[in-house]
Amino acid sequence: MHHPVNTKRVYEPRAGDDGVRVLVDRLWPRGLTKAEAALDLWLKEAAPSTALRKWFGHRPDRWEEFQTRYLVELRTSSAVSQLRDLAQSGPVTLLYAAKDREHNEAIALAAFLESDLA
């Protein structure tokens, strides 16, 4: 059995149903202290490569291609098995700093994990 994989901006406060809070950005979020982030794990390895992140640049017109390229990276990432294990033991919230709530690596990663765990 697996539990939900949710996404949330890291700037939002912890909620009771967040479960394990995992930051999946390669860079630390601007203007945020570790205490304010209230995260349980910073899994940089789950983030897109620097080259892919810079290419994407949070441009919605590149979203489909970004997801395709990111999924290729995820297939060889050790972070995926760690996230899969966490999702099997309780709820997981993937945290991201991007302002765009629909086009970011946490959304793509959550979809990948949900399809992988189904």
pTM here is: 0.93
Q: How far apart are CA 60 and CA 62, in angstroms?
A: 5
Q: What is the pLDDT of residue 117?
A: 65
Q: Which residues are CB-contacts of 88 (< 8 A; sequence separation ≥ 6)?
A: 1, 2, 3, 117
pLDDT of residue 94: 98
Query: Using 50, 70 and 90 to split pLDDT, how confident is the model at 114?
Result: confident
The answer on pLDDT for 2 being more than 70 is no
How confident is the model over 34-64, as pLDDT tens digits?
999 999 999 999 999 999 999 999 999 999 9
Tell me the average pLDDT across 66-90: 93
